[in-house]
Structure 1
Amino acid sequence: MSSEVPDPTDVEARAVENVRIEDEMEQSYIDYAMSVIAGRALPRVEDGLKPVHRRILYAMHEMGVTSGSSHRKSSSIVGETMGDYHPHGDSAIYDTLVRMAQDFSMRYPLVDGQGNFGSMDGDPAAAQRYTEARMSPISEELLEDIDKDTVDFSSNYDDRLQEPDVLPAAFPNLLVNGSSGIAVGMSTNIPPHNLGEVIDATIELIDDPEATVEDLMEHVKGPDFPTGANIVGRDAIYSAYKTGRGRIRVRAEFEVEEWKNGRERIVITELPFQANKARMVERIAEDVTEGKIEGISDLRDESDRDGVRIVVELNRGANTEVVKNKLLENHLERTFGVINLALVDGQPQVLSLKETLEEYVAHRREVVRRRSEYDLAEAEDRAHILEGRLKAVENAEDVVEVIRDSETRADAKAALQEAYGFSQDQADHIVRMQLGSLTSMEAAEIEDEYEDVQAEIERLTTILDSEQELLEVIKDELRKVKDEYDDERRTSIVEDEGTVTHEDLIPEEEVVVVMTEDDYVKRMPIETFDPQGRGGKGIIGADVKDEDRVATVFRANTHDYLLCFTNQGNVYQLKTYEIPEMGRTARGKSAVNILDLDDGEDITAIVDTDALEGDEFVTMATRNGYVKRTASEEFDNIRSTGIIAADLEEGDELVDVEVTDGSQDLVIATEGGMTIRFAEDEVRAMGRTARGVNGIKLQADDAVAGLVAANGDDGDGQALLTVTRNGYGKRTPIEEYSTQSRYGKGLIDIKTEGRNGPVTAIKAVSEDDHLVLMSEDGQIVRTRVDEVSTVGRNTMGVIVMQVEGDDAVASVDEIPAATIATDEAEADDSN
């Protein structure tokens, strides 16, 4: 006999299947994702519960821990749930149990907790061994009739027990208590609602299946958060109910109170849903310490068991509106992103308000039908037994005689069946009857019960035969739930009256923005610079440090939203008021604190978003002569880190940007004084990542200096202003630049040899416009356009700005006549 022990791993595989690893990984990930989606993270539309919630409630139901029982240790409930139905960590189960007991998390808590179950300050609940719980009365409505075959059951994780796939749910819990969860590739965030409003809307939908979302909103005014507060505006609510998605602004409830010594204080009494009260108070205190909010002398949290009370005391003379709106802007308002995503027939689906209620009504229709079938079968069985008892009472003496003459109980049953035609069940019941049941009084009671049972059979049959009767039962049961648990709304809906934001507190004025090559930036009121005659040196506009030079200057309004295009072909969005206002002799603030610019990246062109109304194009020119047009809508959503505006070839740079309407002419000027004019539609519209097409054929060592958009064939009275590096310039009517095909050499615009130097900028100007010119050393001058002579092409021009030594004109911008007129009118009004 061999003593060798066989190697258990030395066996042949029954089957080997070759599978591509990427296919196996893909399928495995899909299986995992669907497991998370269907089995953990998303609620079912019928009862609004995730599996863990449903299993906790069903475990409590099986344990008899109902609202009428005594509280049970939470650890016991968690243990039963984990051992019988939910084979996951006890902490996940307990966290869910805790949330179902928190009146600040659930609009209608499903668990009645006893002990420390956490707070709005983010305090955790006590350990499960210290807390106790039982079902709340309203949660029993979710489980009502679960023992009457109203829902499907499946085997639990070890096939030892059965658990419900869904609860009967006597009210639309998905909307009433809401839900939130993150699955794989999707998430849900459903706000809670008022029970009475949701039930009224459900009844409305039952009565009128063609009801619209607007009709249902006559009942459901909006979300109703357990912490109260206010929803600002109704449009976002309608969008969320119509599409299943929306962003709702929730604002704290507060009031301004007169306090002692003429001072005021802001008292906050309700917070937005899911706000951490302690953290919010800390952040307000941090902002006060850092000087972000001024005028606050003291901050206290006086909250207790009766509710929230946060007191913000103001300094004497503090601007209450400014403080209030600073608090609103940064602390007292939150956005609740509605994603009404739930499982419908096992598949995740975003639902409108109407679709959610339709799915619930369909569920209740099935529950009531199955319950009626169950009750009908029970009633028919009872009627059958009662019919046998009545016959036995009528023939009492003979029945007793038959039983006495039988040898055994089985013989008695058989004899009764043969003599009177009793069924097996009837015979069983009669043999077990007591003699006292044969009295005349007992017979009368049997008759009464039989009549009641027959009436119940008739009622149940009517329900099953009539869809209308079944729906009436659903409505009656919904009304009973409403009568029992309905309460007042906690969350008010207020109209958006235009909250005063930080932007509203910034005076609206025209400013000059200066940026240097080292990316220092600042803004100054344009009134700082009075118009001068041409040829002036101007005044200091920026204190430029050694080896730094002014890169660009442009005019803007403090409330403008600007698109900042860089030499590297990127675009950033900037609010003018975010640029710090500084004096003429200040250097400015580093732009990296405002824009996320890369090393060596400089702003070369600015576009005011007010010029973009939807149908325009953003037209760009590069240093190497390329030009491209892109629809303005592609610049609607710009990330804080910027987006690509043009894909530049190596060594090229973005030089200038204009907003065009599709019917204009483009004029490109080069540093060597050449200019080309061609129709805008010669450049097809293309995406942001395109390089563009050739716009002008450059001569050796030449480069593009600027781009303008001209109106119509004759320029509509416009002139082309050309300014050179050494401060010389001229105006020439646009019509003198004849239109030609794209990618030509162009015409001579201005002579650049000798005193002039290369072209710095070109602008399309009108007679009444003003110019703002800035030199690399920080000198700035403002002059009227009509001070610059109108001459023909191929001329030297006149002095526009006097520059000295190694200084040179860095940038030119124009102030439109309309802006000047508005500023002058406002100045007259103020005087």
Structure 2
Amino acid sequence: MAPRPPRSNSTLPPDDFEEHITDIDVGEEMRTSFLEYAYSVIYSRALPDARDGLKPVQRRILYTMADMGLRPDRGHVKSARVVGEVMGRLHPHGDGAIYDALVRMVQPWSLRVPLIDGHGNFGSPDDPPAAMRYTECRMAPGAVAMTTSIDEDTVDFKPNYDSRELEPSVLPAALPNLIVNGASGIAVGMATNIAPHNLVEVVQALRHLVTHPKASLEDLMRFIPGPDLPTGGKIVGLDGVRDAYETGRGTFRMRATARVESVTSRRKGIVVTELPYGVGPERVIERIKSLVQGKKLQGISDVKDLTDRHKGLRLVIEVKNGFHPEALLEQLYKLTPMEDTFGINAVALVDGQPRTLGLKELLEVYLGHRFDVVRRRSVFRRGKAADELHLVQGLLIAILDIDEVIQLIRTSDNASIAKERLIQVFDLSDLQATYILDMALRRLTKFSQIELDKRREELVATIAALDEILGDDARLRKVVSDELAEVAKTYGTPRRTVLLASAGQTVSAAVPLEVADDPCLVYLSSSGLLARTSDVEAPGEGGDRTKHDVLVAAVRTTARGQVGVLTSQGRLVKLDVLDLPTLPATANAPHLQGGAPLSEFLPLDPDERALGLCALTEDGPGLALGTRDGVVKRVNPELLANKDSWEVIRLADGDEVVGAVPLRTGDEELCFVSSDAQLLHFPAGGVRPQGRSGGGIAGIRLAAGQRVVWFGALAPEEDAVLVTASGASSALPGTEPGSVKVTPFSEYPPKGRGTGGVRCHRFLKGEDTLVLAWAGRGPARAAAASGAAVDLPEATGRRDGSGVPAAQPILAVAGPVGTLLAP
């Protein structure tokens, strides 16, 4: 059997293959292909036209939406429908690129004047938008200004990609879009990056350039001092802006808008309300977390993004206690995108060629385009008005002899003969005769000679006005200027970006990041507020009266130190001074409205109260404590470094501490005041100091059913007073004002420890107990439960006299702040 011949996949003879092989130069082919690709990218994709500021895809989107009738007063349609229409008719480069361009024209943080009104999730500065099938869109008012008069032969049209339709080569652009909204794009071998500006400022500069064509750059910068970014913020340093306006290239710094606020009663924070253009909050948060984890940024405890659609951007950076927020903010500017740079590279297409343009050149190119648009529009409108005037004049001729015209038409054999006879008899043009013949008889009912004469006059006036625009360059310039003014009035908004010539002296140069361990004062008020101040000198007599509250304890310490809080359960609790809110140092006693409640710093039991403050030291005479059952104790100074709290007195069941004060010298007088108006004071030297576990010794002998109302210590040389307030034991505490008496303390002789003391207040009818007592150096100040000051009577009361009615119930009494300072 003979072997089969080999199979061939081709039906052509072998010799024909050589006819389809072409020898080419690879280098030349690469060069040609690259140039064609570069040309396509530069002219058809990446660079905007200097006249309307739009890239081809953006122009095609707006033109298609205008052609579809998606005006601002119409309903939204699916974005996918617009993208499909654009891709099928004008832009066959994929739906992704079209939708990305559409999304950017929706986002208010991308464009200064958005051109598309979106409905749905169009993303955020950090997040991508939803798919086009989920979002909807329509033209924004600014897009109407971009496309207005496009059907009046104002711009040239060119064939689309398959030559089946026409598309505009540029839009009429009544809005100076390139300067107002900016542009960015990367082509082959070149790129563009133009910053957005304020529409009102740009229009002012354009109108000035219309009337002063030879205006200098300095003249124009009086109207446009710098960019106006959609996200606001600050521009620091204007030298780069000046360079960009002159040469088309320059760089400037953008800075976030931030302020220091009290985010809680205990902690301050940096609140960011505006970020640099193109920077989202997620990018800032991610950078801050990276720096904190890398130990390159200290002092931040938390970062929260509280941004919403109602309040706008709000990024809260909580600052740890012990760090200066102002200095930390300077570090955030240096290390995070809260300060960023923007490089202007104003490259755009002018007459089909890419050029780098300065500010004046950008304005001149746009004005030249608007002059051309208005001129072509005027020619178109004049032609339309002249055509209509020609027809109206024909109607006026015919309507004068309407019966003869009808008779002439009826007696003609056909339409062509009727038209010829109308032209001959009434001296009409071919167009006029055709118009009369095509007119339905029912339309003759609404015509009258008066109306036609009025319309003719209107058309004559319109043609004259348009001839004036076309024949007078000054008139043309005025029309363009007036239209620009109307655009600014309709679409203009106030400036958002603050321009700073320089950053000024940085805070970090003058203020360290961490709070220094400087001396300070810590205060405790009668309503339980805590605060610290850098004023280490106690206020004088003239500054003792505060608007609200009274200070019941004060201690000197340092900003990074600790103080002790003495409680009614006989505990001493450590408190970090750095955690306390800082009040400004003033010549007057601090107003603790800026303080924070003690409950935010210490975990006290429900029935436990803070009585005073003390320094944590093992030097000095120690503490003096008095209990409700009349026990007194002096405690040796003792500091337990490994504990946050410890007991300083062992209390009997049902007993509690009513007074705890640091002793200055040990020579003070210890004083008890009981509920039955008995006062006892004796030298502190008569009480032997005990350790922490001691339970104290007898201080005052109480009658059955009585208790200690107040306990404290007084310096023997002080000009002290006693304040007592009486009331009924059956009344609810704080509901009855009672009777108040202020008596010089020298009226009360000392007695031995463990005795009953002397009477200090006589009860009136209906009164059977003391509700409040206090002794110390005057002048005494009193406060109600609300913190409001309560006036006290003069210190003229007799030792066992009764009081006078008080204006309102008194919560606490205190003396000058200087007398409260613990050693």
Which TM-score band applies after superposition, normalised by the shorter structure?
A: 0.5 to 0.7
What is the match of residue 213 of structure 2? 209
Change (3 A) 1:387 1:309: same
Structure 1 residue 213 displacement after superposition? 1.3
**Alignment counterpart, residue 47 of structure 1, candidates 48, 52, 64:** 52
What is the match of residue 251 of structure 2? 247
Alpha-carbon displacement from aligned partner over 1:631-675 (angstroms, at most 9, x marks no partner) = xxxxxxxxxxxxxxxxxxxxxxxxxxxxxxxxxxxxxxxxxxxxx
Structure 1 residue 360 displacement after superposition? 0.5
Structure 1 residue 292 displacement after superposition? 1.1
Change (3 A) 1:343 1:16: farther
User: SS at the partner of 1:275?
Assistant: coil
What is the match of residue 464 of structure 1? 470
Alpha-carbon displacement from aligned partner over 1:510-561 (angstroms, at most 9, x marks no partner) = xxxxxxxxxxxxxxxxxxxxxxxxxxxxxxxxxxxxxxxxxxxxxxxxxxxx
Change (3 A) 1:441 1:385: closer
Q: Which has the larger displacement, 255-264 or 50-59?
A: 255-264
Alpha-carbon displacement from aligned partner over 1:189-242 (angstroms, at most 9, x marks no partner) = 011111111111111111101111111111112111111101112222111111
- Does the CA-based 8 Å contact 2:326-2:507 persist in structure 1? no
Structure 1 residue 75 displacement after superposition? 0.6
Cα distance in structure 2, aligned partners of 1:252 and 1:117: 23
What is the match of residue 7 of structure 1? 12
Cα distance in structure 2, aligned partners of 1:136 and 1:387: 42
Alpha-carbon displacement from aligned partner over 1:123-160 (angstroms, at most 9, x marks no partner) = 11111111111111110111111111111111111111
Structure 1 residue 22 displacement after superposition? 2.0
Cα distance in structure 2, aligned partners of 1:181 and 1:289: 35
What is the match of residue 153 of structure 1? 157
Cα distance in structure 2, aligned partners of 1:154 and 1:183: 23
Change (3 A) 1:9 1:388: farther
The one-letter code matched in structure 1 to 2:242 is Y
The one-letter code matched in structure 2 to 1:284 is I
Cα distance in structure 2, aligned partners of 1:326 and 1:312: 13
Structure 1 residue 365 displacement after superposition? 1.0
Q: Does 1:109 align with 2:114?
A: yes
- Does the CA-based 8 Å contact 1:383-1:453 persist in structure 2? yes
Structure label with greater radius of gyration: 2
Q: Which has the larger displacement, 170-179 or 305-314?
A: 305-314
User: SS at the partner of 2:52?
Assistant: coil
Structure 1 residue 421 displacement after superposition? 1.7
- Does the CA-based 8 Å contact 2:375-2:476 persist in structure 1? yes
| Structure 2 unaligned regions, length at least 5 | 1-8, 514-823
**Alignment counterpart, residue 393 of structure 1, candidates 391, 396, 399:** 399
Q: Does 1:370 align with 2:410?
A: no
Q: Does 1:309 align with 2:329?
A: no
Alpha-carbon displacement from aligned partner over 1:91-139 (angstroms, at most 9, x marks no partner) = 111111111111111111111111100012x211111111111111110
What is the match of residue 181 of structure 2? 177
User: SS at the partner of 1:400?
Assistant: helix
**Alignment counterpart, residue 26 of structure 1, candidates 10, 26, 31:** 31
Q: Report the aligned-residue RMSD.
A: 2.4
Cα distance in structure 2, aligned partners of 1:225 and 1:407: 73
Aligned pairs (5 A) from 1:575-654: none
Cα distance in structure 2, aligned partners of 1:152 and 1:343: 16
The one-letter code matched in structure 1 to 2:465 is R
The one-letter code matched in structure 1 to 2:356 is V
What is the match of residue 387 of structure 2? 381
What is the match of residue 289 of structure 2? 285
Cα distance in structure 1, aligned partners of 2:427 and 2:251: 71
User: SS at the partner of 1:385?
Assistant: helix
The one-letter code matched in structure 2 to 1:335 is T
**Alignment counterpart, residue 267 of structure 1, candidates 268, 271, 288:** 271
Cα distance in structure 1, aligned partners of 2:360 and 2:19: 54
User: SS at the partner of 1:256?
Assistant: strand
Cα distance in structure 2, aligned partners of 1:5 and 1:422: 74
The one-letter code matched in structure 1 to 2:383 is A
User: SS at the partner of 1:163?
Assistant: strand
Cα distance in structure 2, aligned partners of 1:247 and 1:148: 41
Structure 1 residue 498 displacement after superposition? 3.5
User: SS at the partner of 1:378?
Assistant: helix
Alpha-carbon displacement from aligned partner over 1:462-481 (angstroms, at most 9, x marks no partner) = 11111111111111111111
TM-score normalised to the size of structure 2? 0.59
User: SS at the partner of 2:258?
Assistant: strand
What is the match of residue 228 of structure 1? 232
Change (3 A) 1:74 1:401: same
Percent sequence identity is 46
Structure 1 residue 503 displacement after superposition? 8.8
Q: Which has the larger displacement, 363-372 or 493-502?
A: 493-502
The one-letter code matched in structure 2 to 1:347 is Q
- Does the CA-based 8 Å contact 1:325-1:499 persist in structure 2? no
Cα distance in structure 2, aligned partners of 1:238 and 1:101: 30
- Does the CA-based 8 Å contact 1:197-1:220 persist in structure 2? yes
User: SS at the partner of 2:167?
Assistant: strand
Cα distance in structure 2, aligned partners of 1:476 and 1:297: 56
Structure 1 residue 258 displacement after superposition? 3.8
Cα distance in structure 2, aligned partners of 1:259 and 1:136: 39
What is the match of residue 780 of structure 1? none
- Does the CA-based 8 Å contact 1:143-1:168 persist in structure 2? yes
What is the match of residue 529 of structure 2? none
Cα distance in structure 1, aligned partners of 2:244 and 2:13: 61
The one-letter code matched in structure 2 to 1:226 is P
- Does the CA-based 8 Å contact 1:396-1:438 persist in structure 2? no
The one-letter code matched in structure 2 to 1:167 is L
What is the match of residue 143 of structure 1? 147
The one-letter code matched in structure 2 to 1:323 is L
Q: Does 1:346 align with 2:368?
A: no
Cα distance in structure 2, aligned partners of 1:166 and 1:499: 48
What is the match of residue 86 of structure 1? 91
TM-score normalised to the size of structure 1? 0.58
- Does the CA-based 8 Å contact 1:230-1:251 persist in structure 2? yes
What is the match of residue 60 of structure 1? 65
What is the match of residue 722 of structure 1? none
Cα distance in structure 1, aligned partners of 2:114 and 2:344: 21
Change (3 A) 1:151 1:8: farther
User: SS at the partner of 2:448?
Assistant: helix
Aligned pairs (5 A) from 1:569-580: none
Q: Does 1:100 align with 2:105?
A: yes
**Alignment counterpart, residue 363 of structure 2, candidates 342, 357, 366:** 357
Cα distance in structure 2, aligned partners of 1:453 and 1:419: 26
- Does the CA-based 8 Å contact 1:340-1:351 persist in structure 2? yes
- Does the CA-based 8 Å contact 2:281-2:315 persist in structure 1? no
Structure 1 residue 11 displacement after superposition? 5.5
Cα distance in structure 1, aligned partners of 2:19 and 2:433: 59
Q: Which has the larger displacement, 18-27 or 296-305?
A: 18-27
- Does the CA-based 8 Å contact 2:260-2:326 persist in structure 1? no
| Structure 1 unaligned regions, length at least 5 | 508-831
Change (3 A) 1:279 1:499: farther
When the two structures are aligned, how many residues end up with a matched partner?
503
Q: Which has the larger displacement, 428-437 or 242-251?
A: 428-437
The one-letter code matched in structure 1 to 2:499 is I
